[in-house]
Amino acid sequence: MDRERVRELDRIVLGEIWTSDEAWRNLVYLCDDLGHRFAGSERERRAAEFLADRMRAYGLENVRLERFPMATWERGPCHLAVVEPLERELPAIAMPYCPTAQIEADVIDVGEGEQPDFERLASEIPGKIVLTDAETNRPGERKSHRTDKFNWAVQRGAVAVLFVNRNPGQLHITGSLTGRNPNGTRAADREAPIPGIGLSYETGQFLRRLAERGRLRLRLATENRTLDAESAKVIGVIPGTTRPDEIVLVGGHYDSHDIAQGAGDDGAGTVVGLEVGRALAQLRGQLARTVRVICFGAEELGLLGAYHHAAQAAARGERIRFVLNLDGAGRGTGGQEQLVLSGLPELVPYFQALGRELPYDFAIRDELNAHSDHFPFALRGIPNATLSSRDATAGMIGRGWGHTEADTLDKVTLRSIQLAAALAARFVIRFSEDENFPGRQRTPEEVRQQLADAGLLERVRATEGPVI
């Protein structure tokens, strides 16, 4: 790699990114004008058309929407009430893929809801409503995911699960539930077998105080619909010159939950990806490999767009050199970016050296996880990483404002978008130009070992049957 030439390319993209507020204006449209971009909804469709339009305006080529079948979900009323030891209506929301249900049952509190908690209380769970913390991890910490807890509750005979937000502020937590058949794409497959309900921290604490008095009994009535629908990925390319058949894939997911603007998760990452495309389009005819900018659809309902794209890329025999996922990139005030690799130790020194070369400080972790759009590519052995930015309120638990009503535009800044876009664009230039890039395709056997090392093999076998 000719370092002087690469630095010259850097100057062009950095100049472009630091002299424009285009990315911010795109985010304003996605958040304030559309409001939310729930997968399969009319608003997600309008967002896709807007993003494709922007890509064309920036000079990306072969811009297209790749549609795929999926199941969407429509929220209806949700009434939760204490019936014993006192009577009280509680604020509560159904979570995506929650079925219609009317239930009255006693509550069993599993606390943080880690697997040992479910095992210890297994005999008390059948027929009960499980009360559990949603996510309890502090930044950099690893704890069980909402869907793990939901699955453990279903397997042990719970009749509903109440998820408690760990961050105060009367904010309901949301997140999609696992369906009866996670391998299917139709509504009948995706609808959850039992209700999952999101509660605020304060409501959760109130219920736990009541539970200390003895028997706690609740009544739940919720009406929701899971429907067959369609989502789309938005794609545009900057064609490579000498190795056009090798692809560098970069982008975030443009869909969001329905209770907020989805500014940080992942409106910000979407406009960071678009900004990378806009800046790199200035280098057309100068990059060796093809850069494919992608905006994934339906991430929040189970990484559906990324699964579809990874399968299509494999069916087309495409050679993807690297996937840079931007879920969470550009949030907050900037300057606290981190790159999480998927069990690729040879890339840690590579990125450390890159940090010194740029020079720009960012955190690097190597830890395979299953919870964003990089994962379907990791399952196929494709080298990948997720770039994210801490939000302004470092220290919050789990996703912070994410997956609550407070994930709004005021939690993002242009500066953070610019810092993430500058870093991502410079990464992508190197993934394209570096002939000695050390990332390499894993064999299926190596992927199985990576999953086993990360404790994910059982989960993947249960939910991703045909892939592994």
Residues lying near Zn ion in the complex (CB under 5 A) are found at 265-266, 327
Q: Please state the closest distance from residue 266 (CB atom) to Zn ion, in A.
A: 4
Shortest Cβ distance from residue 255 to Zn ion (Å)? Answer: 9
Side chain identity at 199, as an amino acid letter?
L
- Nearest CA-CA partner of 373 in 401, 352, 342, 411: 342
Judged by beta carbon, residue 208 or residue 371, the one nearer Zn ion is 371
- Nearer Cβ to Zn ion, position 5 or 365? 365
Least distance (Å) from Zn ion to the CB of residue 316?
26
Q: CB of residue 374 vs Zn ion: minimum separation in angstroms?
A: 11
**Residue closer to Zn ion (CB basis): 238 or 420:** 420
- Measure the N-to-C terminal CA separation of the chain; round to a whole number of Å: 36
The tokens for 382 are 């494709």
E-strand stretches of 116-224:
129-133, 160-164, 196-199, 217-222
Of 90, 96, 134, 88, nearest to 112 by C-alpha is: 134
Least CB distance to Zn ion at residue 90 (A) = 28
* Residue 109 or 327 with smaller CB distance to Zn ion: 327
Min CB(295)–Zn ion separation in Å: 12
Do residues 430 and 354 touch, judged by C-beta distance below 8 A? Answer: yes
Strands 289-295 and 243-251: parallel
State which residue, 117 or 265, has the beta carbon closest to Zn ion: 265
Residues 414 and 24: their CA atoms lie apart, in Å, by 6
Nearer to Zn ion, 255 or 464 (CB): 255
How many CA within 13 A on the CB side of residue 51?
37
| Residues constituting the chain | 468
* Structure tokens, 318: 């495409």
Alpha carbon of residue 20 to chain centroid:
27
Q: To the nearest whole angstrom, how small is the minimum distance from the Cβ of residue 146 to Zn ion?
A: 13
Q: Which is nearer to Zn ion, 222 or 256 (CB)?
A: 256
**Tally of CA atoms within 13 A in the half-sphere of 40 that contains its CB:** 24
Our CB check for Zn ion shows the closer of 265 and 337 to be 265
Q: Which residues pair with 80 in a beta bridge?
A: 90, 220
Q: What SS3 state is found at 325?
A: strand
Alpha helices in 21-121, H assignment, sequence order = 22-28, 42-58, 115-120
| CB 85 to Zn ion: min, Å | 39
Q: From the CB of 199, what's the least distance to Zn ion, in Å?
A: 21
Nearer to Zn ion, 133 or 266 (CB): 266
Shortest distance, CB of residue 16 to Zn ion, whole angstroms?
26
Reading phi first (left if > 0) and then psi (alpha if -120 to 50, else beta), residue 157 is in left
Closest C-alpha to 73, from 281, 326, 368, 302? 302
Distance CA 192, CA 458 (A): 20
Helix or strand (DSSP H, E) at 8: helix 3-18
Is 22 or 327 the residue whose CB approaches Zn ion more closely?
A: 327
